[in-house]
A and B are shown apart, each in its own frame.
Chain A
Amino acid sequence: MPAVRIKDHWREQRLFDQRALVCAALMGLATVGLIARLFLLQVTRHDYYAELSQGNRVRTEPIPAARGLILDRSGEIVAGDQPAYQLELVPEEVPDVDKTLASLVQLGLIRSEDVNEIERTIDSSRTFDSVPIRLRMSDEDVARFAVRRFEFPGLDIKTRQTRFYPNGDLAVHALGYVGAISEQDLKHIDRAAYAGTSLIGKLGVESAFERELHGRNGFREVLVNAQGRSVERQGGTLVTNLRTKAPTAGDDLILTIDLKVQRVAEAALAGHRGAVVALDPNNGDVIALVSLPGFDPTLFGRGITAAEYNQLQGDIDRPLFNRALRGTYPPGSTVKPVIALAGLTYHVVDPEAHRFCAGSFHLPGSSFIYREYHNEHHGAVNLDDAIARSCDVYFYGLANEIGVDRISAFMAPFGFGALTGIDISGEKAGILPSRAWKEKMFSRPADRVWFPGETVSFGIGQGYLTVTPLELAHYASVVATRGRIWKPRLVAAYRDPGTGQLHRIAPVSGGEVGGVSGDDWQRVVHGMIGVTQRGTAAAIGAHAPYVFAGKTGTAQVFTVARNEKYNAAKINERLRDHSWFIAFAPADAPRIALAVLEENGGAGASAAAPIARKVLDAYLLDAEGKVKPTS
């Protein structure tokens, strides 16, 4: 190599051309590589990226399905949907959130104590999302805001569907209500199915038939940008292929309840605590189910305030308590027909034989005296009289002769001590005592023994025996049909509101009470007819255009000392006896069986029986007071 190189222009030109060629070739190679990459992205993996891009740009918004209506047996609306108004705020469109909230407080549209909570909600929301700041506005609130809307940019009144009960608290304990979805609810519902709704059925039919009523959500695909803000665009392929699916409304429920009868029953019991359950003994249909006092279910649907809830919860009359399904009371003398049937069936008693009632009974070898209610003396009574006039002494003896275990075993098929299986939840079972029951229930050996005296009380429905009004109505219904058992039901059918297709729900049979002869049924029913014609409820049964069978009952809340006279006026109202009446009519071909309870109403004949008569009339008679023909 020479020490000093001299520029060789020709050689350098050739070197440059060579290098330029190599560079161009590398450039070509790089371009081919780039195109290969593009091919991979745009052809080979196109579907994959197309899907990702679709997922990016589209947000699926749920469209809540309309909740099914609830109708009574004649089609009258019991529960429906209604728009409710709420005030919503879009943070980014409000120039000064603090000032705006302050003005709303001044207008009385929001409460000053809620301002902090509202501000927190606003802070945690995206600036373009609409935040509800005031729910359930009254028409007056809406009007007050509307006239000053111009002062409030970024605020608007929105409507949402809410549950509406046109009859207020009518039949609320059968219906239940809808309320805000709770943490508890979230555990067992499909969240996707409840997207876009904040309400779910609670209690009663609203809860038990939630699946049918809820319907299926629809959805709407909305174009969104990278911030999640929905974007309005006119035309172009960005919007044309967005999908929308309409929601499927929930099924309408058709109840077995007859609102006309329900109204009569509630009116008759109004002002008292108590329950009325009326069943169709031929299929278990619940004609009326009353528990008073009730409450307005609309409160829960539109969002109940803590104060309102506390008031309901703290009310001494316990309006939230479903007495018809969950209240357990001693049945009193209403059990006498089944005790009589047991005596007849076990051949313990001769129905024609007379027993002498001198107003008191005592077990052989015991000094304890079991007294007649109001210290009456019935004299010589046979079975028929004993039922009609509700002679305690007769049934003290009869129960003692049959024995507790046989009574208990006999009563079980009538539904005592068990759930009736009504098609809504929350039902509670009463107690049907027996020796085995007592042994299981008590821990102290001395308490676990069944005393003969307890059997005596059992005979007149006192002591451990308890029932719910529903159980007692169910029992009346079994006696009415001479042993046929149907599970009570509130929902007869559901209907697809789109197609109008009606799905009837078949009544569920619970079998039959076996082993009772037709003559024995007839004897007991005759005694019960006697109740309404010449017995304890003769005054109530008078001039009825149909023959009906009944039985009064008076359940002691408070034991009156031996030498004291029961004086209703003197006793604290809440310690007075519960008043029962069971009945079915017409007696030979029953179409309705019922149980009426008036808490602390006193004697069955005076408080509960008149209510029962009104319900029977409402169901059986037409406008002119004649018995309606069977449909």
Chain B
Amino acid sequence: MMYEEVTSGSRTRRTLTGAARVLMELRIDGPLVVGLSLIAAYGLVVLYSASGQSLATVLRTVARLVIGAIAMLLLARVNPNFLRRSTPWLYAGGCVLLLIVEAIGHVGLGAQRWLNLGLFRFQPSELMKLAVPMMCAWYMHERPLPPGWGALALLSVIILLPVGLVAAEPDLGTAALIACGGALVIVLAGLRVRVMVGLVLLGAVAAWFGWSFMHDYQRRRVLTFLNPQTDPLGAGYHIIQSQIAIGSGGVFGKGWMNGSQAQLEFLPERSTDFIFAVIGEEFGLLGLLLLLLLYVFVVGRAIYLATQTQETFARLLAGSLALTFFVYVFINAGMVTGLLPVVGVPLPLVSYGGSSVVTLLAGFGILMALYSRRKLIGS
């Protein structure tokens, strides 16, 4: 791919400009930051329209992006070895926080997800998005790959404990994403294909079992996914309206702030989970392709960075973070376009609200930290 030739590591090293030197000093990856910034900027433009021209919403998002960027810059400077050594503590702390949420958490949107820390509300489940893959990578770091049965069993426990707690909140979307982050570590660690097939079958059984423990609204979402037309004003409303929004946008879109579905509030959660549909309506197929291109660039770059790391912990964690980012995008786009059930997964860096922006950027900070220190080990 073009960008890899133009911005490959070796070339960057050969042509050290002032800016590149600054980036080197900050231990951040230029192409990745450019990709993320473009997505965030695009997101702000869309958000202004999707929020009904609310400058306040845009400014709040800018504030979150700034916090996320700071987290990214700070984490990029952290020594990966320190990161690795502190992983068990982070994981354990996260689990404790989840238990606290379960016990005393505030009730928000019918589900307990928040810890009110006075200044801001904090979702421990967001922390676990990072802590679980870190813990899995930590565990595999010293062990030979691919993981054996014993390792798999322990990894399952590491993943399912927080996933179970988050799912009990209940926040099915985040639980699935956390599980996904951990599972990707295992896959990247070389899990045998036979075992994967077996686990998928096991998953099917678990899904059937899980159905009996689901909340009504969760079941409805699954059912509506299977046939959205059955209840157009009920649970299927989201999907139908988002498909109308995207479909009516056509190739070129209706124009910025001219999407009738979004502007006239037919599209629910237009600035949060369904903002993808706003892009589709106002900027058309071309606008969505541009967004997907940016995402693919960022994920591709992140995977490339992961392959350049030399430690097991770094590789597995970086690879998992990169792929999880794509999974976010795919699940959100899939649910908005009617390919997947409606689970509350925001479109990364574009959807308004939540602490996911900070988590995502923090994840990229870790990824850059892992990458930037590779030569110390290699040399």
Contacts of A237 in B (CB 8 A): 254-255, 258
For residue B370, give the distance in angstroms from its CB to the closest CB of chain A: 13
Contacts of B326 in A (CB 8 A): 27, 30
Contacts of B255 in A (CB 8 A): 236-237
Task: Please tell me if A348 contacts chain B, counting CB pairs below 8 Å.
Answer: no
Task: Please tell me if B251 contacts chain A, counting CB pairs below 8 Å.
Answer: yes
Task: Please tell me if A48 contacts chain B, counting CB pairs below 8 Å.
Answer: yes
A223 B285 Cβ-Cβ under 8 A: no
Contact of A35 with B292 at beta-carbon distance under 8 Å, contacts A8-B144, A56-B261, A227-B265 already known: yes
Interface stretch of the complex, out of B13-21, B84-92, B170-178, B302-310 = B302-310
Contacts of B306 in A (CB 8 A): 16, 20
B323 A27 Cβ-Cβ under 8 A: yes
Task: Please tell me if B333 contacts chain A, counting CB pairs below 8 Å.
Answer: yes
Bound-state CA distance A105–B338 (Å) is 55
Q: How does the 8 Å CB contact mask read for B160-190 relative to A, with 1 for contact and 0 for none?
A: 0000000000000000000000001001111
For residue B163, give the distance in angstroms from its CB to the closest CB of chain A: 21
Bound-state CA distance A295–B275 (Å) is 65
B260 A238 Cβ-Cβ under 8 A: yes
For residue B175, give the distance in angstroms from its CB to the closest CB of chain A: 21
One of A6, A30, A236 near B257 (C-beta < 8 A) = A236
B251 A236 Cβ-Cβ under 8 A: no
Bound-state CA distance A100–B146 (Å) is 77
Q: How does the 8 Å CB contact mask read for A1-35 relative to B, with 1 for contact and 0 for none?
A: 00001111100110111011001100110110111
Task: Please tell me if A160 contacts chain B, counting CB pairs below 8 Å.
Answer: no
Contacts of A34 in B (CB 8 A): 292, 330, 333-334, 337, 339
For residue A212, give the distance in angstroms from its CB to the closest CB of chain B: 40
A42 B265 Cβ-Cβ under 8 A: no
Chain B: residues with Cβ within 8 Å of the partner, total of 57
B339 A37 Cβ-Cβ under 8 A: yes
Contacts of A231 in B (CB 8 A): 264
Chain B residues touching A, majority SS:
helix
One of A7, A12, A46, A56 near B264 (C-beta < 8 A) = A56
For residue B191, give the distance in angstroms from its CB to the closest CB of chain A: 9
One of B248, B303, B315 near A23 (C-beta < 8 A) = B303
B247 A7 Cβ-Cβ under 8 A: no
Contacts of B289 in A (CB 8 A): 35, 38
A16 B249 Cβ-Cβ under 8 A: no
Contacts of B246 in A (CB 8 A): 38, 41-42, 49
A49 B243 Cβ-Cβ under 8 A: yes
One of B243, B244, B249, B310 near A56 (C-beta < 8 A) = B244
For residue A23, give the distance in angstroms from its CB to the closest CB of chain B: 6
Bound-state CA distance A227–B233 (Å) is 12
Task: Please tell me if A116 contacts chain B, counting CB pairs below 8 Å.
Answer: no
Q: Give A28-68 interface residues, CB cut-off 8 Å to B.
A: 28, 30-31, 33-35, 37-39, 41-43, 45-46, 48-50, 52-54, 56-57
Q: Give A125-162 interface residues, CB cut-off 8 Å to B.
A: none
User: Can you spell out 5 A-B residue pairs with CB atoms less than 8 angstroms apart?
Assistant: A23-B319, A24-B300, A42-B250, A56-B261, A57-B260
A37-B337, A53-B244, A237-B254 given. 14 additional CB < 8 A pairs? A7-B143, A7-B312, A8-B144, A12-B144, A16-B145, A16-B190, A16-B316, A19-B188, A27-B299, A31-B292, A35-B292, A53-B245, A54-B260, A226-B265
Interface residues of A (CB under 8 A from B): 5-9, 12-13, 15-17, 19-20, 23-24, 27-28, 30-31, 33-35, 37-39, 41-43, 45-46, 48-50, 52-54, 56-57, 223-227, 231, 233, 236-238
